[in-house]
Structure 1
């Protein structure tokens, strides 16, 4: 009767284990999310507003002739070596790479050794040593799936590090352009101040000849004081821009004494957006999102396979003696054990873990879609902005030409008493304001082209 009962128990457990295997295996191998992601990398996007002057480049630094700009090459390398945020991202990558070794360790044989000594009253000392070897048979590829997940997580971290490198170099280039533009704003305001200070002399001469009043002098001095206040703001903006660049370089000394601010704007190429090798699949942030999605799919497999039985093989060697030397396996006992264990009841924890991993995988897919949509938006915005900035520069240049003619006309009329000081102040301010607008448009267009290169996945490669 007892034997019959035991056989029924064994049969029931066997059937239960088989049902676990079939149930878990039925849910494996579903990689539809990552497969759909591969088909939506923006390769079929038709970009609008592509300029005929766009050029084929392969790296972000190809957009600017950095060798021709003093210190810019050194600045970029210094930032890559010393930027604190980039180094933190690198440590995240190194951690993910070490995690691969942790996952792979589960595939290896585990070896442990122990030794103990005891002494009781009225008894001789006792010594014992043991040596244990164990290994889990990866029958369902659960450990291998864990290793694959770790590898994809490391690949995601590496893509994130590449994205951080690219963004850092782009920020250095943009901030360099910002410094040059702030210096030119400062130069324009200084020229404006010189003109208004010279006007004060003209007003005094007109007053002495009876062609004007001292009220005009007050108006000119008010304008000069306003310009001096603006100069103080531009000087602060320039100093702030220099400090921002210094932080990107990882410097505590933020003076940047070697920076040449008299250098004119560099030429920045407009990168092509319709070449196969410049589609959005080159973007490292998109690659990072895809690798995270792949890792989550393998984590789902691991969670399902945790429902399956596991098989462990172990061997032990032990020896005991009254002396330490005799206990060194002179007459050891050995044992060999093969063990299969299956989860029967854990309060639904394993099933819940499966659902958690499935939800994490779906969430990773939506994060990928969000990254893709942002990439498409950033690219199209940069292309449209290029067209808008080109038109704005053209019309602003035309406005500057008209303003120059207006200045000459009003200056002549003012000397003849046919125009008042307010008319003169107005045309001067219009001319200088337009010059500042043109500088801002030029800087914005150069920075926008860097943004476009970044949006298309143009990066800065590194030695792994």
Structure 2
């Protein structure tokens, strides 16, 4: 049967639609799969004294710390690199937006020969590829998802940097208190050494006792030097985070209270985390790129209109007897050795890979929250036990000091009790720091970020 000429365009359109259906991707509904993964998360129990906050800076009420965080967010080189990456993604998105518009070009040439008038030729061309399958639109949308993903990664980097600065500031206080505790240990040990020397000169003590006292003092002085260097290194590390190696950072003498952040419902909490948002946007971007890869298998239609004029003067070119031409072109990939199909398959696998990355990020986020909440409870109990142990050790130390002066106990027993007392003091200081720092970690895990 012979088709009528009027029916041919409709037949062609039907064939194109059939081709479109044949090459459509078969990606699963990753949005539903993400919802299913989130539904697996069980509700976590609240912590005692937890409070609701909106930004991570609210965990610690300190104008000085707020100023440090602000300086770090403005000058940290690592964060600046992440911001530049975001700007690159934004420029790439604008580039894909331009692909949706017609292209226009113009040309002008002149030919002068001896004994002949000059010939001037002007041309103008407008070309446009019809986005019949929304391939260009999908590509542009994928680029917009890349921009949104990078924005979330930038926010995640800001949040992490703010938390690191806050933790580093607390660490300075911890290091300074360790130095003070160790100096107090040295003072006590020196008094013990002097008293032991007097006993030795009086014939009441032994040389072994004096050597033990001297050894304890020297060991404590070595530890003090270690603590001083640790403090200096932590100051340099914090200055590096601030993007100013020569920064003069003042330290608090005592720990500043850190609020225990309140954990919302799992779904609400996880929706705040920028790394999870970025992982989900990566799935959407990969899915759109997969659609584009499949649409590369389809025919494309392009239009080109051109204008040409030849004149004897430059001003007359394109403005006298111009000649227009219009060209419509239909192209379709017939054989490329399976490259396009392979590329489409790769795009499908990359989408599946992005989903698995999301799952990994989700499980890591849940683990971070549960670990931080569990550690808050554990550190609280440890701190209580160490405080009890320290109080008992302090009482024991007083008794041993009296007994030693009365000659009822020996030097080794006294040094053992002194060492135990100050070791417990250092341990308690470490626990206090770890507990406060963990609250910052918990806030970050709950998706509470910087301004």
Q: Give the TM-score category using the shorter length.
A: over 0.9
Against the structure 1 CA distance between its residues 165 and 14, is the aligned structure 2 distance closer, same or farther, given a 3 Å change threshold? closer
Aligned-partner Cα distance in 2 for 1:275–1:252: 41
Q: Work out whether residues 309 and 321 of structure 2, in 8 Å CA contact, stay in contact via their aligned partners in 1.
A: yes
1:50-129 mapped onto 2 (5 Å cutoff): 50-67=46-63, 71-119=64-112, 125-129=118-122
> Which residue number corresponds to residue 183 of structure 2?
190
Please give the per-residue CA displacement for 1:165-184, whole angstroms capped at 9, x wherever unaligned: 00000000010111110101
> Which residue number corresponds to residue 374 of structure 1?
364
Against the structure 1 CA distance between its residues 350 and 120, is the aligned structure 2 distance closer, same or farther, given a 3 Å change threshold? farther
Considering only aligned residues, what root-mean-square deviation do their CA atoms show, in Å? 2.3
> Which residue number corresponds to residue 439 of structure 1?
429
User: Any runs of at least 4 consecutive aligned residues in structure 1 with deviations exceeding 4 A, and if so which?
Assistant: 10-19, 119-125
Aligned-partner Cα distance in 2 for 1:262–1:193: 23
Aligned-partner Cα distance in 2 for 1:214–1:297: 81
Aligned-partner Cα distance in 1 for 2:357–2:266: 24
Aligned-partner Cα distance in 1 for 2:448–2:14: 57
Q: Work out whether residues 304 and 328 of structure 2, in 8 Å CA contact, stay in contact via their aligned partners in 1.
A: yes
> Which residue number corresponds to residue 23 of structure 1?
22
Please give the per-residue CA displacement for 1:208-227, whole angstroms capped at 9, x wherever unaligned: 44321233222111111111
Q: Choose which of 270, 273, 293 in structure 1 pairs with 2:263.
A: 273
1:138-157 mapped onto 2 (5 Å cutoff): 138-157=131-150
Structure 1 unmatched ranges of 5 or more? 5-9
1:330 aligns with 2:320: yes
> Which residue number corresponds to residue 6 of structure 2?
none
Aligned-partner Cα distance in 1 for 2:132–2:423: 75
> Which residue number corresponds to residue 348 of structure 2?
358
> Which residue number corresponds to residue 455 of structure 1?
445
Farther off after superposition, 135-144 or 285-294? 135-144
Any idea what SS the aligned residue of 1:317 has?
Answer: strand
> Which residue number corresponds to residue 392 of structure 2?
402
Q: Choose which of 23, 27, 38 in structure 2 pairs with 1:41.
A: 38
Q: Work out whether residues 41 and 266 of structure 2, in 8 Å CA contact, stay in contact via their aligned partners in 1.
A: no
Q: Work out whether residues 182 and 223 of structure 2, in 8 Å CA contact, stay in contact via their aligned partners in 1.
A: yes
Against the structure 1 CA distance between its residues 316 and 19, is the aligned structure 2 distance closer, same or farther, given a 3 Å change threshold? same
Alpha-carbon deviation of 1:31? 5.4
Q: TM-score, normalised by structure 2?
A: 0.93
1:32 aligns with 2:29: yes
Aligned length: 445
Alpha-carbon deviation of 1:57? 1.5
Q: Choose which of 287, 304, 316 in structure 1 pairs with 2:306.
A: 316
Structure 2 unmatched ranges of 5 or more? 4-8
Aligned-partner Cα distance in 2 for 1:460–1:252: 23
Aligned-partner Cα distance in 2 for 1:408–1:287: 58
Farther off after superposition, 319-328 or 239-248? 319-328
Aligned-partner Cα distance in 2 for 1:18–1:144: 18
Q: Choose which of 242, 247, 258 in structure 2 pairs with 1:249.
A: 242
Q: Work out whether residues 283 and 355 of structure 2, in 8 Å CA contact, stay in contact via their aligned partners in 1.
A: yes
> Which residue number corresponds to residue 7 of structure 1?
none
Q: Choose which of 190, 203, 228 in structure 2 pairs with 1:235.
A: 228
> Which residue number corresponds to residue 393 of structure 1?
383
Any idea what SS the aligned residue of 1:329 has?
Answer: coil
Q: Work out whether residues 31 and 297 of structure 1, in 8 Å CA contact, stay in contact via their aligned partners in 2.
A: no
Q: Work out whether residues 42 and 280 of structure 1, in 8 Å CA contact, stay in contact via their aligned partners in 2.
A: no
Aligned-partner Cα distance in 2 for 1:326–1:312: 30
Q: TM-score, normalised by structure 1?
A: 0.90
Q: Choose which of 142, 161, 170 in structure 2 pairs with 1:168.
A: 161
Alpha-carbon deviation of 1:58? 1.9
